[in-house]
Chains A and B, each alone.
Chain A
Amino acid sequence: MTSNGTGPRTLGKVRPHQTQNESLVFEKSSPGKKAYKLPPLDVPAVDPAALLGDSHRKTAGLLPELSEIEIIRHFTRLSTWNYAIDLGMYPLGSCTMKYNPRVNEFVSRIEGLAEAHPYRPDSLSQGILDIIALLQRCLIEITGMDAITLQPAAGAHGEFTGILLVRAWHESQGNARKKILIPDSAHGTNPATAAICGYTVENLKSNAEGGIDLDALARQVDEETAALMLTNPSTIGVFESQIHKIADILHAKGALLYMDGANMNALVGKARPGDFGVDVMHLNLHKTFSTPHGGGGPGSGPVACKAFLEPFLPTPVLVQNENGTKHWNYDRPQSVGRVRAFYGNTGMFIRALAYTLANGPDGLRQTTEDAVLNANYIRAKLEDLYELPYKTASMHEVVFSDKRQAAKGVKTGDIAKRLIDYGFHPYTVSFPLIVHGALMIEPTESESLEELDLFIAAMRSIAKEVDETPELVKTAPHSTRVSRLDEVQAARKPILRWKP
């Protein structure tokens, strides 16, 4: 990397080469090629047209026809167009892009686990039930809660489940109540969740430190408030130091405290939500517990709660018999019902437990400490060049604003794109909404000092470019296979599938 303002040496585009110019799989297809071979049929063949009558498919779907080597090359080439944690730092704030240990992948594919059918009798599923029970126990201990369901398929699905628990409890008290309070710094899933649970959303304005304004909270909480959905640490990476007062204000009016556990990577082994007044919360196994993001899923969003909410957990719940064996209990008259078929994203439970076992109590604590150390190190090394809108102590992520760069016409999105040229994935852009032009940086514990220093050097170099050659930043990235894409055209005339 150069420091003379011209930025890093870029590779330029290598368009003609196949690896840079891979067609759609359909465009590579030609009739008669095969990548499969079925074993000989050991039962009499049937006449599908005769068996199915009008329900017989006459025209095949236009699926591609290729050989195995072409398929391997196709998807391998596509993969090389992706950035990934395995390639370098991925400092997306609130996304917790940490290392995804490979032993997790290995154990999730062990035959007896990967091939287990969900409707096997419990007696033949005791191994997987042991895994689920141990993960539940670990997560309950980590969160300081009393009970848990692993059924929700992702974080937002966990929010939905958690707010259903809140609602069911209020109903059991005689009044479901009408509104959910949500800070203006919250992720968009929070208000969307409250809405699908039949609640109106009331916005809670953050105070000057980016935290909950206790006076405003006290004014807004009333007998129709079902809960406050609070992300702690908040989306600006700040721990709500008045958390116990927040809980007290809510509880005094019979409202509950829901915690969005998106930022749990700042707390594991250091503080437990159950100890500071949280009634119900979700976890993101794909953030805090190292299960892979996979380009956007699968996730897993367990919901942990205090004992008084336990009767409302989704069915079924896992129960231990007197002899130590386990079974699913479906007889739960107060349950909110099912939120997903079967038991949840079990493959993710296996990975999350493998991560927990690899860490142990000391590793989990050290992980949290390193995550917070990394964020604070970045903050210390960049706060002279980038505006820090909130001076409050940072936990696992730090949020700057583009105030100084915007004065030169360069926005957070441009700086983010320029980071790509330096070999890093951008930070989270323009979120949280309470910070105008936000740069939300979460390094996680997985970054070495060397990688952090490279990132810091890149950010410092970009700040200099903003002063000296702002166009270079505004037109970035310059080193990728495709340049900035026309998103307006994509939305105006949507092309959502290939057509021959």
Chain B
Amino acid sequence: MRYLPKSPAEREQMLAEIGAASIDDLFAVIPAEYRLDRDLDVPRQMAESEIIDYFKAAADKNATGFASFLGAGAYRHYRPVIIDTLVQRGEFLTSYTPYQPEITQGTLQAIFEFQTMIAELTGMDVANASMYDGSTGAAEAVMMAVRVTGRHKAVVAKTVHPEYREVLATYAKHQGLPSTLVGYDPKTGRIDLAQLEEKVTAETAAVLVQSPNFFGIIEDIPAIAAIAHAKGALLIVSIAEAVSLGVVRPPVEADIVSMEAQSFGVALSYGGPFCGVIAAKEQYLRQMPGRLVGQTVDSNGFRGFVLTLSTREQHIRREKATSNICTNQALVALMATIFLTVYGKEGIRELAEHNLAKAAYAAEALASQAGAKLLFSGAPRFHEFVLGTVESPSVWNPRLLDEKIIGGLDLSKWYPELGNATLWCATELITREQIDTAAKVLAAGLVEA
């Protein structure tokens, strides 16, 4: 087997030095009836070329060469080439969690840079070294707010990504943490502030909103914060589209920000691995889950970095830990760090403005077709919008597929009250031509209907 660095003679030599007659001696401790005495029923050993052929064939069976208007928590942005060049360096790729700081300063300094960039972008004081993803990060943020406030109820906007809400429900279920849903204003698509005011009580640990929300609408964070804080609840803002922060005002009134950083140079990869991150006001630091890197000095006084505040974590605190989280998404966080370094202060703004422009054009082009209209036009958006159509998307989406275009996401599964509504996303990678073609196909479909 090509990954195994031993000759048959070496194996024999080692067995002899151990004093074992055969390799089976070393497995004798496993009761005989549980030892597998046959080959596993898995495909036979393949050559590297065969493996590549297998995966290429699978990739070809997927849709390729399609223009896509899908977003909804997973965004297609351009990934600068040097991201993969750098993260594939063995020293990053094949290194473990930096528990031995003397020989992991590379990973530690990169994470420290990541934490700084996330704090800068989100307007929070501190950020952790990353979480699994935006959905689990949001759930962990709510649990963090419970620890901070000592309260046990959550109020959640219906415009938070439906799958994030499902994950929160799974986490909350066994922790005595009921959550109340707050609907949205049908005109603006923003959280219904009157309803929010009604549902936030002195027992509320946290209000969880998303901005831009699942409909792509930017929430009125100061107004939401005022309502939450008036009752002593924390405000958690979930950000699923991190690139928005290039042009959208950061949620500085929030107490905790839970972000999905996939947009920062991470491949879609059918939904993972992505890169969650929790950022917060400094006073909540000791209730934060996940790893943190801190600056310190070595015994000669030189600057260095270490994992710190680990007394919060499971390997020290066991069942009293802030979370059971053990791994983070270090390599993916490194991708995000490189992405943000490539774009930098000006580039992230310019990139976000391109997204804004593409989506403004696409919304206008699609909504101006007969039988189509833009929902929630009364509030600012980033690069996603909800299109209402007379016809069901099941009628016109196949027509778009014929033109190698994947249209907006059907929202009926989660928001049946919206009727024939679809969620469209236009990033910088969508071309005007693709938008125009989509509009044309949509028009043809709608007119025929």
Contact = CB atoms under 8 A, between A and B. Distances in A.
A111 B344 CA distance: 26
Contacts of B435: 43
A116 interface: yes
Contacts of A87: 90-91
Interface residues of A, number: 202
Interface in A96-114: 97, 99-101, 103, 105-114
Contact of B76 (A100, A115, A241): A115
B103 A425 contact: yes
A393 interface: yes
A448 B6 contact: yes
Contact of A343 (B45, B92, B164, B270): B270
Contact of B327 (A60, A105, A156): A156
Contact of B126 (A52, A164, A189, A496): A496
B103 A420 contact: yes
A99 B5 CA distance: 11
A41 B61 contact: no
B420 to A, nearest CB: 17
Interface stretch (A196-204, A214-222, A401-409, A459-467): A196-204
B298 A482 contact: yes
B152 interface: no
Given A61-B245, A296-B98, A357-B43, A76 B324 contact: no
Nearest to A198: B174
B89 A298 contact: no
Contacts of A252: none
A402 B387 CA distance: 67
B14 A296 contact: no
A68 B330 contact: no
Interface string B109-136: 1111101110111000111011011111
A348 B328 CA distance: 14
Contacts of A65: 344-346
A18 interface: no
B328 A106 contact: no
B401 to A, nearest CB: 8
A117 B270 contact: yes
Q: SS class of chain B's interface: helix, strand, loop or mixed?
A: helix
Contacts of B299: 483-486
A295 B331 CA distance: 6
A1 to B, nearest CB: 18
A81 B218 contact: no
B96 A297 contact: no
Interface residues of B, number: 200
Contact of A191 (B86, B105, B319, B360): B319
A116 B270 contact: yes
Interface in A63-78: 63-66, 68, 71-72, 74-76, 78
Contacts of A235: none
Contact of A61 (B5, B121, B297): B121
Contacts of B340: 63
B56 interface: yes
A341 B304 CA distance: 36
A61 B116 CA distance: 10
A347 interface: yes
B306 A124 contact: no
B270 A128 contact: yes
Contacts of B226: none
Nearest to A360: B45
B231 to A, nearest CB: 23
A118 B62 contact: no
B64 interface: yes
A482 B18 contact: no
A341 B324 CA distance: 18
CB-CB nearest 5 A-B residue pairs: A342-B271, A112-B59, A294-B331, A360-B45, A86-B90
Given A52-B248, A55-B218, A497-B125, 14 more contacts: A61-B245, A81-B103, A82-B106, A112-B62, A115-B76, A153-B272, A196-B143, A295-B331, A341-B135, A341-B163, A365-B39, A373-B11, A482-B101, A485-B297
8 contacts: A34-B347, A63-B345, A85-B90, A191-B319, A338-B167, A341-B167, A345-B272, A477-B103
